[in-house]
């Protein structure tokens, strides 16, 4: 099979949490790109894959989606927080999500005359990261300086829910009303199982550590979404909620914006769409077998995309994440006799870090035991050495001079010649030729199995058949 | 890494004091010989700084920087330092696995946390100082730590400092959805198409259904 040169991934926001931007792995002559619509022809064409030239389309699409949304709760004298969550800024470089957020503000001001519309950036580390996002995407200008970050260790508020007390971050709700400005990246599909994913911010982005900890550690990964639903339905949240606006994606790119006050309706539409699209990609990733992954982007390595699928899915997704008959596919629950309870894909033979954020809140400290890690450059190695979340990781990783050397070492040691690159790409997967061959070879059977067997089951299990 | 306070930038707002998981920061009056204009300034107890960096993130005035430690040190509690049966009983009462990695950053197991509690660490900050847990992402381990302390009879540890928000109370958990060992009726009705019975069996330690298909756990 003839393989053309690789396409470049979307540009990303420079950050102090990662090294200085360096040349992309896609520029190596050994790399190529496999189009996701070539693999799965049923995927709709996207409106953008993150290019700045497409922002007018995102703006028009957002305006069209908001046209029929009921904003009657908001008056000229109200205060309104638009709640944005950080992973939206990691989607295709973040420009489409940022554009949707800015457009929401414009439309709210036009329609209601509201003079006090603020942006609250729900960000994991909380504040320095929020400043980077604010500056990079020009939010100070768009929001007249009314921009603040919030993080899980920020001051909290106890909220009564149907399942008991939970803790939210006070600053997210320090206005008369809020707007849930979200995106539908399914990210950790093995954990959220695509059950009410559109609600997840209520137990993560907008929530304190206590709530996040319960979601991760003390609920099963099918029933975990009870928490965000209980919070969303609580009197505290409902008294302040106005409407939701969600940036819609498929592995091909941004496919639209869905906005209404009925978040449950949005969620049903997203779930049905995702099972058909990300469901196919999920099963294809399970077919990859032995391989080496490369991190090459401007966010946490765990959350970098390849064809719209995050690295974390390859790391953990060896079972069918969407089959709700299986109690736990991966997560933090303990299996008897197994001390490492976060099951990992043993076919992942190595991870080469060309560029990515350090842990900064994501623990990978035991990952090099199952998948040896190769970190490119002393400057990047120093960042890992200083990372509070992974104090011992650098002692368990190998520092290499350049990415080609890292890939070579990882493939030799891992006994594989397949390389997949997580560089933030939607619409295609950056990989080497032998990986491209595997993807192309396996996709038709995956396509058939999902369409004929799995999709009907997944939909039925969620009451969507 | 260890924190350092830039005296002239510190306004004494105390936000860092409220988020440090090991309570390594306190407020005091600024001395006449110190740079800066505000009356109060924050002070660091260096040995108690475990590089969580929450202070650095929340400081609105960039008055905190991190430096490499001149002499790195290792933190931890030896599980053998407490009675094995007591450790197991405490983990069981708290609903956490003794071999479970509770803090994935410091690689602290339920047993190590239980041992530290049995050895006298009776607050979240004392537990963090004894084990290093809750000084990395400070997220995943948060509630299991509060549950272990509560199960050991120390759920009433006063917040330190009193206005701090390092931690609040224990949030609702899945096992709280049970009434007499069964999923409560109102919960079952409210969350109708969840496999709650099955999930709660798994969470209660019954893994008989735990048979992932076609993979390699
Ligand atoms: S770096 Fe962490 S442990 Fe050290 S003072 Fe700051 S918050 Fe406390
Ligand atoms: S948060 Fe910053 S300004 Fe406020 S007391 Fe701490 S170091 Fe000083």
Residue-number span of the structural domain to which A119 is assigned:
52-275
Mention every residue, 6+ apart, whose C-beta is less than 8 A from residue B128.
B21, B22, B50, B134, B135
CA A413 to chain centre: 30
Q: What is the pTM of this model?
A: 0.92
From chain A residues 161-190, the ones with a CB under 8 A of any chain B CB are: 161-167
Using the predicted structure, report yes or no on whether residue A339 has a pLDDT greater than 50: no
- pLDDT for A46 equals 97
A134 with A259, same domain?
Answer: yes
CATH number of the domain enclosing A165: 3.40.50.11440
From chain A residues 336-355, the ones with a CB under 8 A of any chain B CB are: 336, 338-343, 345-347
**Closest-CA distance of chain B to residue A338, Å:** 8
Rounded distance between C-alpha atoms, residue B112 and residue B98, angstroms: 8
- What confidence category does residue A240 fall into, taking pLDDT thresholds of 50, 70 and 90? very high
B3 close to B64: Cβ distance less than 8 angstroms: yes
* Weakest-pLDDT range from A22-36, A39-53, A271-285, B84-98: B84-98
Domain final position from A247, A275, A303? A275
B144 with B189, same domain?
Answer: no
Chain B residues touching A345 at Cβ < 8 A? 216
A121 with A216, same domain?
Answer: yes
- What confidence category does residue B81 fall into, taking pLDDT thresholds of 50, 70 and 90? very high
Whether A5 is in a domain gets the answer no
Using the predicted structure, report yes or no on whether residue B215 has a pLDDT greater than 50: no
Across the range A371-381, mean pLDDT stands at 95
B90 with B140, same domain?
Answer: yes
A256 with A140, same domain?
Answer: yes
* Weakest-pLDDT range from A62-71, A211-220, B139-148: A211-220
Question: In this predicted model, what pLDDT tens digit does every residue of A388-432 receive, in sequence order?
Answer: 788 788 999 999 999 999 999 999 999 999 999 999 999 999 999
Chain A residues touching B202 at Cβ < 8 A? 220, 327-328, 333
Instruction: For ligand 1, pick from B52, B135, B160 the residue to mutate: most ligand atoms within 8 Å of CB.
Output: B52
* Number of domains chain A contains: 2
A346 with A434, same domain?
Answer: yes
Whether B196 is in a domain gets the answer yes
Whether A117 is in a domain gets the answer yes
Ligand 2 — pocket residues by CB below 6 A? B 5, 10-16, 42, 59, 61, 63-64
A33 with A58, same domain?
Answer: no
- pLDDT for B26 equals 96
- What confidence category does residue B217 fall into, taking pLDDT thresholds of 50, 70 and 90? very low
Rounded distance between C-alpha atoms, residue A446 and residue A285, angstroms: 10
Residues counted in chain B: 217
Could you tell me what percentage of chain B is helix, strand and coil, using 3-state DSSP and rounding each to the nearest 5?
Answer: 35, 10, 55
Residue-number span of the structural domain to which B36 is assigned:
2-67
> Would the CB of B123 count as within 6 Å of ligand 1?
no
Domain final position from A250, A275, A300? A275
- pLDDT for A191 equals 80
Instruction: Compute φ and ψ for A256, nearest 5 degrees.
Output: 160, -170
Whether A15 is in a domain gets the answer no
A176 with A208, same domain?
Answer: yes
CATH number of the domain enclosing B37: 3.30.70.20
Whether B74 is in a domain gets the answer no
A341 with A424, same domain?
Answer: yes
Residue given tokens 């059950």 in the structure block: A195
DSSP β-bridge partners for residue B146: none
Whether B6 is in a domain gets the answer yes
- pLDDT for A120 equals 97
A260 close to A244: Cβ distance less than 8 angstroms: yes
Whether A443 is in a domain gets the answer yes
- pLDDT for A317 equals 66
Kindly list the distances between the CA atom of residue A378 and the CA atoms of A206, A374, B194, in Å, as whole numbers in the listed order: 36, 11, 48
End-to-end C-alpha distance for chain A, whole angstroms: 39
Rounded distance between C-alpha atoms, residue A387 and residue A384, angstroms: 5
- pLDDT for B180 equals 78
B87 with B132, same domain?
Answer: yes
Whether A154 is in a domain gets the answer yes
Rounded distance between C-alpha atoms, residue B160 and residue B167, angstroms: 9
A93 with A237, same domain?
Answer: yes
B93 with B135, same domain?
Answer: yes
A231 close to A165: Cβ distance less than 8 angstroms: no
- pLDDT for A126 equals 58
Rounded distance between C-alpha atoms, residue A122 and residue A148, angstroms: 9
- The 10 Å Cβ neighbour count of residue A201 is 24
Output Rg (C-alpha) for chain B, integer angstroms.
Answer: 21
Residues counted in chain A: 465
């Amino acid at each position: 099979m003839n393989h053309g040169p690789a396409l470049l991934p979307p540009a990303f926001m420079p950050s102090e949490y990662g090294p200085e931007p360096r040349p992309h792995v896609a520029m190596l002559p050994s790399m190529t790109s496999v189009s996701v619509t070539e693999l799965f022809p049923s995927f709709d064409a996207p409106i953008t894959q993150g290019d700045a030239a497409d922002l007018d389309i995102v703006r028009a699409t957002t305006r069209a989606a908001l046209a029929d949304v009921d904003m009657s709760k908001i008056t000229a004298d109200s205060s309104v927080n638009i709640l944005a969550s950080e992973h939206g800024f990691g989607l295709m470089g973040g420009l489409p999500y940022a554009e949707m957020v800015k457009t929401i503000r414009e439309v709210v001001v036009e329609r209601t005359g509201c003079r006090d519309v603020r942006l609250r950036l729900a960000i994991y580390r909380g504040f320095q990261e929020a400043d980077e996002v604010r500056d990079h995407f020009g939010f100070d200008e768009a929001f007249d300086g009314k921009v603040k970050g919030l993080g899980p260790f920020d001051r909290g508020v106890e909220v009564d829910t149907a399942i008991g007390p939970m803790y939210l971050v006070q600053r997210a709700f320090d206005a008369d009303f809020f707007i849930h400005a979200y995106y539908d990246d399914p990210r950790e599909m093995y954990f959220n199982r695509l059950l009410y994913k559109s609600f997840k911010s209520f137990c993560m982005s907008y929530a304190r550590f206590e709530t996040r900890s319960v979601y991760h550690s003390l609920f099963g990964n099918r029933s975990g979404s009870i928490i965000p639903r209980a919070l969303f339905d609580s009197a505290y949240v409902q008294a302040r909620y106005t409407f939701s606006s969600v940036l819609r994606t498929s592995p091909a790119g941004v496919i639209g914006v869905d906005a209404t006050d009925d978040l449950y309706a949005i969620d049903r539409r997203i779930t049905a769409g995702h099972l058909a699209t990300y469901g196919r990609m999920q099963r294809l990733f399970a077919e990859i077998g032995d391989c080496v992954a490369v991190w090459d982007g401007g966010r946490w390595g765990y959350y970098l995309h390849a064809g719209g699928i995050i690295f974390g899915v390859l790391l953990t997704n060896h079972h069918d994440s969407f089959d709700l008959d299986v109690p736990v596919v991966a997560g933090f629950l303990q299996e008897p006799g197994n001390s490492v309870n976060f099951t990992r894909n043993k076919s992942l033979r190595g991870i080469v870090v060309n560029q990515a954020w350090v842990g900064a809140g994501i623990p990978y400290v035991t990952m090099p035991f199952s998948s040896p890690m190769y970190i490119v450059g002393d400057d990047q190695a120093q960042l890992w050495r200083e990372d509070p979340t992974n104090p011992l990781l650098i002692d368990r990783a190998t520092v290499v001079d350049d990415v080609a050397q890292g890939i070579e070492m990882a493939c030799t040691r891992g006994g594989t010649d397949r390389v997949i690159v997580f560089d933030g790409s939607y619409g295609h997967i950056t990989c080497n030729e032998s990986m491209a061959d595997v993807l192309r070879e396996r996709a038709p059977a995956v396509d058939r199995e999902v369409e004929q067997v799995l999709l009907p089951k997944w939909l039925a299990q969620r009451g969507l058949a | 890494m260890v924190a350092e306070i830039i005296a002239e930038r510190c306004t004494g707002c105390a936000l860092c004091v409220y988020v440090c998981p090991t309570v390594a920061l306190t407020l005091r009056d600024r001395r006449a010989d110190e740079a800066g204009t505000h009356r109060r300034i924050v002070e660091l107890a260096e040995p108690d700084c475990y590089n969580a960096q929450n202070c650095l993130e929340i400081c609105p005035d960039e008055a905190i920087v991190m430096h490499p430690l001149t002499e790195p040190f290792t933190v931890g509690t030896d599980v053998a330092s407490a009675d094995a049966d007591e450790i197991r009983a405490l983990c069981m009462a708290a609903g956490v696995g003794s071999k479970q990695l509770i803090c994935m950053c410091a690689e602290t197991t339920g047993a190590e946390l239980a041992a530290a509690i049995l050895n006298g660490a009776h607050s979240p900050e004392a537990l963090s100082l004894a084990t290093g847990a809750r000084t990395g992402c400070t997220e995943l381990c948060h509630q299991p730590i509060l549950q272990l302390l509560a199960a050991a009879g120390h759920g009433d540890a006063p917040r330190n400092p009193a206005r701090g928000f390092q931690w609040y109370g224990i949030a609702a958990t899945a096992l709280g959805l049970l009434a007499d060992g069964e999923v409560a009726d109102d919960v079952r009705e409210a969350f109708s198409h969840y496999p709650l019975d099955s999930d709660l069996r798994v969470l209660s330690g019954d893994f008989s259904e735990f048979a992932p298909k076609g993979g390699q756990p």
